Structure 1
Amino acid sequence: MQKSLHIIPEKCTGCTQCEIACSMEHEGIFSSSKSRIRVFKFHDEGRFVPYTCTQCAEAWCQRACPTGAIDINARTGAKEVLATACVGCKVCTIACPFGTINYVPDSGKVAKCDLCGGDPACAKACPTGAILFIDAEATGFEKMRAWAAKTDTGASATA
């Protein structure tokens, strides 16, 4: 069974523990700027929203990569950057509509969420449960389809 990150924005307090845990897991230092997850701050509204790679089924970053450096991990389903194949051209960063794959100047390559090999540090570190690692079928498109079915007003039947 594939699992994926599920973010519940209304539970996020903006503590950035997810960012710190991610940077420690991947870079060995506590630095939000080196994290593969970010907490977007809506200061005027007093809201915070964690965001990271959604591991798209039809990943634009993967399709755009001219060297095939983004591959699917068969165990986790994560689209992972293969450092040995990445040439740092940044085409994938342009292709990603969500801005969740980033160029890393220190390495000259790109980095994105890889689900920490199936045990995401961000989800473990989140003190409020705003980031969960759950069955992939409970997230994404199928969840939206179920919600739409519950709220169907019949408008589509007349179209």
Structure 2
Amino acid sequence: MRKMLHLNADKCTGCLQCEMACSFEHHGVFAPAKSRIKVFDFHETGRKVPYTCTQCDEAWCLHACPVEAITLSQLTGAKVVNSATCVGCKVCTVACPFGTINYVQETGKVQKCDLCGGDPKCAEACPTGAITFIDANWTGLERMRQWAEKVGNQPAAA
């Protein structure tokens, strides 16, 4: 069973524990600037929104890479950057429509979420459940049910 990160902005408090866990996992330091997941702060509304690579099926980054440094992990289904192959051309950063691949000045390479090899530390560290690691085939039925209850346009069945 393939799994994916599910990000629920309604539960995010902006604590940055996800960013800290990610940077520690990949770089051995607590440095949000080095994280592969980011929490965007909408200052005007006070909303916080976590975002990272969605491991999309289209994988524009993978197809755009001229040296094939981005490959598909057979274990997790993640599109993973091989830093030994990456030449730092940044073509993948342009190809990604979501802006979730980042160029790292210190290394001259790019980085993106790799799902921590199937055990994402961001989900493990999130105290509110805003980031979870779920079955990739999840249909969203529970979310649709919650939305239907909010809308309230139909009488409840007796």
TM-score (norm 2): 0.88
* Residue identity opposite 1:104 in structure 2: V
Within 5 Å, give how 1:92-111 maps onto structure 2: 92-111=92-111
Secondary structure of residue in 2 paired with 1:137: coil
Q: Which residue of 2 aligns with 1:17?
A: 17
Runs (4 or more) in structure 1 with deviation over 4 Å come to none
Take 1:34 and 1:91, find their aligned partners in 2: how far apart are those partners?
20
- Cross-structure match for 2:38: 38
CA RMSD of superposed structures (Å): 1.6
Question: Which residue identity is paired with 1:81?
Answer: V
Between the two proteins, what is the percent identity of the paired residues? 65
TM-score (norm 1): 0.87
SS in 2 for 1:13: coil
CA offsets, 1:96-122, max 9 Å, x none?
A: 010000011111110000000000000
Aligned length: 145
Structure 1: stretches of 5+ with no match in the other structure:
152-159
Which residues in structure 2 correspond to 1:1-159 (within 5 Å)?
1-138=1-138, 143=140
- In structure 2, stretches of 5+ residues that fail to align are 149-158
* SS in structure 2 at match of 1:75: coil
> Helix, strand or coil for the counterpart of 2:110?
strand
Give the Cα–Cα distance (whole angstroms) in 2 for the partners of residues 13 and 51 of structure 1.
13
1:6 corresponds to which letter in structure 2? H
The corresponding residue for 1:154 is: none
Is 1:137–1:143's contact at 8 Å kept on the other side of the alignment?
Answer: no
Task: Provide the C-alpha distance between the structure 1 equivalents of 2:13 and 2:84, rounded to a whole number of angstroms.
Answer: 37
Residues 19 and 32, structure 1, Cα contact 8 Å, conserved in 2: yes
1:119 maps to amino acid: D
SS, match of residue 137 in structure 2: helix
2:155 matched residue in structure 1: none
1:82 positional shift: 0.7
Question: Using the alignment, how far apart are the partners of 1:127 and 1:30 within structure 2?
Answer: 17
Query: 1:80 touches 1:112 (CA, 8 Å); kept in 2?
Result: yes
Cα deviation, residue 85, structure 1: 1.1
1:143, distance to aligned residue in structure 2 (A) = 4.0
Amino acid at match of 2:76: T
SS of the aligned residue for 1:6 comes to: strand
